[in-house]
Each structure stands twice: as structure tokens, then as C-alpha cells.
Amino acid sequence: MQQQHRRRRVSSKSPRLSVVVPCFNEEAVLPEGHRRLRSACSEAAGDDYEIVFVDDGSRDGTWPILAALAETDWHVVAVALSRNFGHQLALSAGLSLARGDRIAMIDADLQDPPELLTQMMVLMDAGADVVYGQRMQREGETAFKTLSASLFYRLLNRLTDVEIPENVGDFRLVTRRVLDVLLGMPEQHRFVRGLVAWLGFRQEPLPYIRQPRLAGETKYPLRKMLRLAADAITGFSVRPLHLSMLFAMFSFAVSMGVALYALAAWLLGDAVRGWASLTVVVALFAGVQLLCLGIIGEYLGRMFIEVKRRPLYVVREIHTSPSTPRTVEGGNVENTTP
């Protein structure tokens, strides 16, 4: 171990490749994930790489495993957040600590094969600034999840002016200049794949087949998927606000129609009878008004969160070599342990 740390001190320059891996309750997959990541990184960048694992407030044995990996493998940087901040913020924390000239993002569950890093590096050697994995097939996932993901990306691209590739997650490789711009974007509600798409630059897809989860449970149940979808839509589009205006205009047109009908009935001496029509109209107006208020409230709530300018995350602890000081963009560091 002393020899490994000595080699780390000698190499003070930025590594050629950094891999950022957010983790939440992933103790079952970390040993195999570390093994495969080491092999893939060695093939893609030789010995010139680092792997930044970020523990997002796990409640199992994830952190002890990561701390032990950092002690035995000088390529590993183990980062512990002070609590569970969510996948996108944990990813952002790891990106702020990555020192590489090229930075890869990958989940710990091994559904996205790290062995594709070599092909990503080749595409980047050819001039790409971003190489993103595009899922041609999603093995081990339910039909509902596959269908809902497809519908979500179609809806998102209709609502936004930025084209976000379909069937794409956060699995990608970016250059340092792309990451530097990304780290300068201060959004609290982050949709990283959308932010990268918004940046532009030269982006190339790498088709692949997504594998089933190696072990453990998915960290994106329906509730979190809906929350991520809300972050994506409200973060990249104001068209829902325009939609609320259309709803208001539709309600006004209906109300005018009902008023004309009531006036004509009164003039003809045929009084409007029954409560059914009145109940339908009141329910329609109330529903549309509440929907419009909900849309406006969602945007106002996000504005309220943004203007407070709290840090995106808090780093509790970092296990790494003492010769590699770390600075964090967008978050606070409470303690650093060599």
C-alpha cells in the first residue's frame, strides 16, 4: 500500500481519465463493480486514471466498502455525502471532485457496461466532446418502465427547444472543457443529461444493450422517476405555463358558451333546469383553475429554492491520497481524510 501511495504522490498531473460513480445502498455490487471498472479503465487509459465513488447517504455497508477500497487501491477516491441528496446531486458532487482530462459518468449497478469506456475514448480521440451511451435494448426491465421512458423523452422533446436524445441515461464520457462549463451551471433541481445536451459541442452516440441489474434493487422507483421527469420538464421548458394559459382560454370559451345558452333560454322563456349542467361547469372551472395554479406553483416553488442559493450538497468525508488536494464546486466539504 505504501508503494501505491508513493506512486500517487509522484504523479501530480491530472489523470487522463476520471470515472464518477454515485452509489446508494450498493454494497452487493461494489466488489464486482470495482473489479470491472479497474479492468475497463486500465484498458482505456493504462494506469493513468481515477475512480471517484460517491456514497449518497447509504444505510447499508456501502461506505465501509468504499473506504476500504480507497485504502487498498490508490486509483480510488471515496466520497461520503452528509446525507442522501439524490442521484443527480451525488453525481454532481463526484464531477466537482474529478481531476481527469476526460470524465466518465456511470451508475454502480453495472447495467451500463464499463467495458465500453475504450470505445468511448476512441470516439473522443476522433473529435467528439461528449460520447453518450444510447440504449438499443433494455434487458431485465419491465414493459411499463420501457414504455414510460420512451413516452417521457418524446414528451420532453416536444416541450423543450433542446433536443435530448431518447433512450439515454447519464452514462457518458465528456471532455474537461464540457465539464467545466457544466459545473458552472448552478441549478438546484438538476437533470444532468439534459444540461449536457443543452451545452451543445460535438456529441456522438454509442449504441449498446443495457444489462439487467447485477444485484440489489433499483434506486429509481416510480415516485423518483416522476420527480426526475418534473425536474426535466420544468428545468428545460416554460411551455407548461403556456399550457395553463390555453386551459384558461378554453375555460373562458366554455363559460361564454354557457352564458349565451342561459341568456337564449331566458329570452325564449325556457328556464334552465337541473343542477347537472351547473355542477359540470363548476367542476370544470375548478379543475382547470387548480391545474393552472399547480403549474404556476411548481415553477414558483423552484424559483424559491433557487434564490436561497444553498449548496447543492455537503461532503462529509473524503478518503484519498494526501498528495491530491480536492476542491468542490457547488458544495461544502466538512472533512477530508487522507
Mean pLDDT of all residues in 268-293: 62
For the chain, what is the mean pLDDT?
75
Q: Exposed, middle or buried: residue 107 (CB in 10 Å: 0-12, 13-18, 19+)?
A: buried
**Cell digits of residue 55:** 456514497
Helix ranges (DSSP H) in the chain: 2-10, 30-45, 62-72, 87-97, 117-125, 143-159, 176-183, 192-199, 222-236, 239-267, 276-307
Lowest mean per-residue pLDDT among 145-154, 307-316, 327-336: 327-336
Q: Which helix (H) or strand (E) holds 230?
A: helix 222-236
pLDDT band at 7 (very low <50, low <70, confident <90, very high): very low
Distance (Å, whole) CA 267 – CA 109 = 71
Whether the per-residue pLDDT at 61 is higher than 80: the answer is yes
pLDDT score for 123: 93
User: Could you tell me which residues are beta bridge partners of residue 130?
Assistant: 174, 203
Mean pLDDT, residues 99-111 taken together? 90
The label of the residue with cell 473524503 reads: 318
Neighbours of 102 (CB within 10 A): 26
Determine the average pLDDT of the residues in 292-302: 68
Q: What number is the average pLDDT over the span 243-247? A: 64
User: Rounded distance, CA 259 to CA 264, Å?
Assistant: 9
CA end-to-end span of the chain, whole Å? 13
User: C-alpha cell of 307?
Assistant: 434564490
**Mean pLDDT of the 9-23 span:** 78
Regarding pTM above 0.85, the answer is: no
CA gap 302, 289 in Å, rounded = 20
C-alpha cell read off for 184: 458552472
Quote the cell numbers at residue 29: 455490487
> CA–CA separation, 92 vs 188, rounded Å?
10
Confidence of residue 281 (pLDDT cuts 50, 70, 90): low
H or E element in which residue 324 lies: none
244-265 exposure pattern, b = at least 16 Cβ within 10 A, e = fewer: beeeeeebeeeeeebeeeeeee
Strand partners, 54: 22, 79
C-alpha cell at 21: 460513480
Q: What are the cell numbers at 254?
A: 366554455
Answer yes or no: is pLDDT of 129 > 90.
yes
